[in-house]
Amino acid sequence: MEHLSDLKETARRAFYWSSFNPDKAGDRTLAGHESELQSDLEGIPETEKERYIENYRKYFIKWLTAHSNCASSAVTGGSGFNVRRNEKSNNREQSAYGEFIEWRERALNAIAKKVEDEILCVGDESFHCPHCGKVYNDEKYCNRIDRNKWGYTRVYCSCGKPFNVTVNFAGEMTIFFTHKQMMEKYKQKQVLINTMRGDEQIGLYDDNPKNHGYER
């Protein structure tokens, strides 16, 4: 869908005094900005598109209008060409285009940040406890993640062990462990390993297959 096609005459007038072929210059400018707008819209949520298009058109038209007051002595002829007035027109045109560029950059950055801050559960909302395997399938956990500025929620399972849930890039619920939890699991593992080593030293545990008649 084209969003700037109705500005063909505005674009042509913008280059009437500065191009030997204002129609071609206008069409080329219109096509370039239409392509840019379409590219921008690909990364913008549906809820933000209408406002973005409206503001893009507003700044674009403002720039085209300012450009229509710019002239080239090669096009108009040097006789009676008002250099000072044209310099002022050029300054206004450059200012309008600068505002256009600055607005676009601010708008895209703001939208990108908003999208980054929003966590959307668009995939499978089910997950399971990593300790006992209990399955959860409740939208309330997704809502809790959305409200949490850190982007996760802690679930206290009926087995007595808590775990954390977040949303991955596919919009699916996924389990993760904090650094503290990882250290606790590491310590538990080390305790188990040390216990097995102690049992092995006193003969309560032996993983050597030769001593169990397993060797062929």
Q: What is the pLDDT of residues 88-105, one digit of tens each?
A: 999 999 999 999 999 999
Rounded to 5 degrees, what angle do the CA atoms 127, 137, 158 make?
A: 75
Least confident of 29-38, 122-131, 187-196: 187-196
**pLDDT at residue number 125:** 73
Mean pLDDT (the chain) is: 81
**pLDDT at residue number 22:** 94
User: Greater confidence, 169 or 26?
Assistant: 26
**Orientation angle between helical segments 22-42 and 46-67, nearest 10 degrees:** 160
**Which tokens hold the place of 96?**
């309008």
pLDDT band at 1 (very low <50, low <70, confident <90, very high): confident
- Give the Cβ contact number of residue 35 at 10 Å: 11
pLDDT band at 130 (very low <50, low <70, confident <90, very high): confident
Q: Which letter, b or e, does each residue of 77-109 get, where b requires 16 or more Cβ atoms within 10 Å of its Cβ?
A: eeeeeeeeebeebbebbeebbeebeeebeebee
**pLDDT at residue number 153:** 85
Mean pLDDT, range 118-146, rounded to an integer = 76
**pLDDT at residue number 42:** 87
Q: pTM of the predicted model, to two decimals?
A: 0.56
pLDDT band at 143 (very low <50, low <70, confident <90, very high): confident
User: Does the pLDDT at position 60 exceed 50?
Assistant: yes
